Amino acid sequence: MNKILNLLLPRFLTEEVALHDNGDHLVIVCPMTEVKPGERFHAVATMRVFNLFGRTLLPRMVSGPWPWPSIPDIEPSELPPCPFCEGPPSITVQSFELRGPVYRQAFYGCAGVDIDAYVFCHACGAQGPQYENVIFHEVDYLSAEVEAARLWIERSAKHRDLYDGSAADGLTIYPRRGNRA
């Protein structure tokens, strides 16, 4: 459908592009939609062009260039098992707009994708706290996974002080001696 529109409908297009530094200046490599996960370039810019019968005319940089988003060094952390069934945890990133999972990719469009990232138990389906954000690049996706993992790890110790206080008062033992008939 886009090929037909490109041939028949003259129009302005705006998209982000990957740029390569050849020593003298930055050169457009490809649109960000065609960058594969793990590929790295020198910069990103937003270009506006006039498309006439599939030909690009009047290219103009609207914003940028910005340095290529770098993937931070992420310290590995072990996810604790499910607090209910001791099942294995699994991280997922979902989008209600797309009605399903969001997969890791280099670019998610100029408008981004509204996501919920969380850890769930693969055995019983228990779900940890959600991390909500709009992601634009692969770096944002990885940050969402890290934040979901952090929330899962912290959720198990979140109210530990309340449990310890109840245990010290003997309120976690059942049946309680005072409750017997």
Express each pLDDT in 10-30 by its tens digit. 888 888 888 888 888 888 888
CB neighbours of residue 119 within 10 Å: 26
pTM of the complete model: 0.62
Express each pLDDT in 81-107 by its tens digit. 988 898 999 999 999 887 889 998 877
**Helix or strand or coil: residue 117?**
strand
Maximum separation of any 2 CA atoms in the chain, in Å:
88
In this structure, are residues 81 and 70 in contact, taking their beta carbons and an 8 Å threshold? no
**Helix or strand or coil: residue 93?**
strand
Q: In angstroms, how far is the first alpha carbon of the chain from the final one?
A: 76
**What are the phi and psi torsion angles at 64 (to 5°)?**
100, -170
Q: C-alpha 115: how far from its chain's center? A: 7
Residue 47's beta-bridge partner residues? 15, 61
Mean pLDDT, the chain, whole residue set: 82
Express each pLDDT in 105-116 by its tens digit. 877 877 789 999
